[in-house]
Chain A
Amino acid sequence: MSIISIDNRGLSPPEPMIRILAACEELSDGDRIEALMDRRPLFLFPELDERGLRYTCDEREGGGYLLTVEKT
């Protein structure tokens, strides 16, 4: 199991979404992506759902979000 960390802070849409979807292509079973985001990536959720990936997006103290995507 490996963790891919992505810092998407400071990037404009849809760059964070594209980077996460690109990283999703690399995921093997049990792997996880942890991405720091400025915004909640609303339009990304249906894309992840369509790919059968599990995900959560939690607000971080001090602003921004932590998106976690996992292939199970």
Chain B
Amino acid sequence: MARSLHAPVGKTNSAIVANAPLASIGLLFTAVLFEISGALMMCAGAPSLAVLHAFAAFIVLAIVGSAHQLLPVLFGSPPVPLPATVAVSAGFVVGFVLLILGFFGFSTFAWAIAALLPAAIAWVATLCRGLIFARTERATAALAGVSTAAFLAATCCAAYMLFSLANGNGFPDTLARTHGSLMVLVFIATFIVALSYRFVPMFALAHNTGYGRRLWQYVLLLAYVGAAAGLFARVAFGLAALALVVLGAQHLKTIQARIRKQVDVSLRYAAVGWCFAIAATTGLAVEGESARIVPAVLVLGLLGWITLTIFGYSMKIVGFLSWQFAKNKDERRKLTPLSSAVPPMLNRVTLAILAVGVMGCAVGFAILPALATPAAYVFLLGSLLYGVLIVRICTPYIRVVEAV
């Protein structure tokens, strides 16, 4: 054949050209900085809404950064232009900083709305464009569509509450509950469950064992929608816990059927996170939304399930994007294999510390208050180690680019 057979990675794919890997890597690193700041604020006893929204910023930025890179490829839909990606990301970053400052008593809520609302609307618009034009994965696209609708509804609730706060008024607790439930249960959880359906077999390199139907994904979605709406909430959470167990068993079966010798590092995080998801949802089914259980469940759900899963998947995505970035710069250079880019001991220690931190915080918030602060420090240590870990993963590839 006349053409070069060495990988012109990224040069023939408009999605990748339009969405430079470096922008998404930068956004994912920024997301991790928000996560570390959230862990730090938790140790320092900062206002709980500031802590909560630092973690929310981490989650939203990680989803935005990953979605812009992966969804056009997954769905075969048109790529998002780079300027749009940068503008949306900048809006979220600035908006969340102003929002968090507002919870510390600064008069920044009005500015936060001005930054966050357009960014959220623009992101939903770009996502909807991608979902509407999806050529493949229509079922995943449909789930992502429901998740996006929940994000929009939660954003509308947030905008109303921020307007109210900016005018010096309070807001009804029911609206805060609706905002939180829509954001966590319907938007983030659905998004993660829908993507896990593809990521687990892809990262494990395994046939889709046990993936014949998506029934339990829809059951989980319906249960979370019901719980978010407050309809038979405990029954809904019970059903959701059952769905998580069944989906977890399916993922486990897939991982067991993998071609790789070792379980991929990203999946270790996701597996631990999934256990926390089952624990959090079961807790809500058994205890209901009592004042004692909700903070512990938030820790298990946000820090345990969602944060650990995003950490795992981001590790894979950041590694891949860095590899791709280096390959784009010098396609003939031999690069460090991605499979050996993650330092195994540091990775195991980080995951163990994070898991211990999450469990300690949950127990501390629920039954043993004296444990909460030390456990928060343990979680902070785990978060810092994760930061070190992803820097270590990227370094060999960035060094190659510097050498070029």
The distance in angstroms between the C-alpha atoms of A17 and B99, with both chains bound, is 43
Residues of A within 8 A of B1 (CB): 68
Verify B76–A38 contact, CB threshold 8 A. yes
Contact of A14 among B13, B16, B205, B324 (CB under 8 A): B205
Q: Chain B 50-83, CB within 8 Å of chain A: the 1/0 string?
A: 0000000000000000000000011010000000
The distance in angstroms between the C-alpha atoms of A49 and B324, with both chains bound, is 11
Residues of B within 8 A of A70 (CB): 5
- Answer yes or no: B202 CB below 8 A from chain A CBs: yes
Residues of A within 8 A of B337 (CB): 46, 49-50
A39 → B minimal CB distance (Å): 6
**How large, as a class, is the contact surface on chain B?**
35 or more
- Answer yes or no: B7 CB below 8 A from chain A CBs: yes
Verify A57–B202 contact, CB threshold 8 A. no
Residues of B within 8 A of A18 (CB): 205-207, 259
The distance in angstroms between the C-alpha atoms of A54 and B331, with both chains bound, is 11
- Answer yes or no: B12 CB below 8 A from chain A CBs: yes
B240 → A minimal CB distance (Å): 25
The distance in angstroms between the C-alpha atoms of A17 and B6, with both chains bound, is 18
Verify A45–B76 contact, CB threshold 8 A. no
Verify B202–A17 contact, CB threshold 8 A. yes
Would you list which residues of chain B between 137 and 152 have a CB under 8 Å from chain A?
137
Contact of B208 among A15, A21, A43 (CB under 8 A): A15
The distance in angstroms between the C-alpha atoms of A43 and B316, with both chains bound, is 10
Q: Chain B 1-26, CB within 8 Å of chain A: the 1/0 string?
A: 10111111100110110000000000
A-B contact count (CB 8 A): 83
Chain B residue nearest in CB terms to A66: B12
Q: Chain B 362-383, CB within 8 Å of chain A: the 1/0 string?
A: 0000000000000000000000
Would you list which residues of chain A between 1 and 25 have a CB under 8 Å from chain B?
12-15, 17-18, 21
The distance in angstroms between the C-alpha atoms of A25 and B203, with both chains bound, is 19
Would you list which residues of chain B between 325 and 345 have a CB under 8 Å from chain A?
327, 335, 337-339
A26 → B minimal CB distance (Å): 15
Verify A13–B202 contact, CB threshold 8 A. yes
The distance in angstroms between the C-alpha atoms of A14 and B5, with both chains bound, is 23
With A14-B205, A40-B13, A56-B8 already in contact, the answer to whether A50 and B339 are too (CB < 8 A) is yes
26 A-B pairs whose Cβ atoms sit less than 8 Å apart in the complex: A12-B137, A13-B202, A14-B202, A14-B206, A15-B208, A17-B205, A21-B259, A38-B135, A38-B136, A39-B73, A39-B74, A40-B15, A40-B16, A46-B337, A50-B337, A54-B5, A54-B6, A54-B7, A55-B6, A56-B3, A56-B4, A56-B5, A57-B12, A65-B12, A68-B1, A72-B5
- Answer yes or no: B323 CB below 8 A from chain A CBs: yes
The distance in angstroms between the C-alpha atoms of A45 and B6, with both chains bound, is 11
The distance in angstroms between the C-alpha atoms of A65 and B208, with both chains bound, is 23
Chain A residue nearest in CB terms to B319: A46
Verify B202–A59 contact, CB threshold 8 A. no
Contact of A46 among B5, B15, B320 (CB under 8 A): B320
B134 → A minimal CB distance (Å): 12
A10 → B minimal CB distance (Å): 9
Verify B207–A39 contact, CB threshold 8 A. no
Would you list which residues of chain B between 178 and 230 have a CB under 8 Å from chain A?
198, 201-203, 205-208
What 3 A-B pairs have minimum CB-CB distances, sorted nearest first?
A: A54-B5, A50-B337, A46-B338
Verify A43–B12 contact, CB threshold 8 A. no
Chain B residue nearest in CB terms to A50: B337
Contact of B202 among A43, A49, A54 (CB under 8 A): A43
- Answer yes or no: A62 CB below 8 A from chain B CBs: no
Would you list which residues of chain A between 36 and 53 have a CB under 8 Å from chain B?
38-40, 42-43, 45-46, 48-50
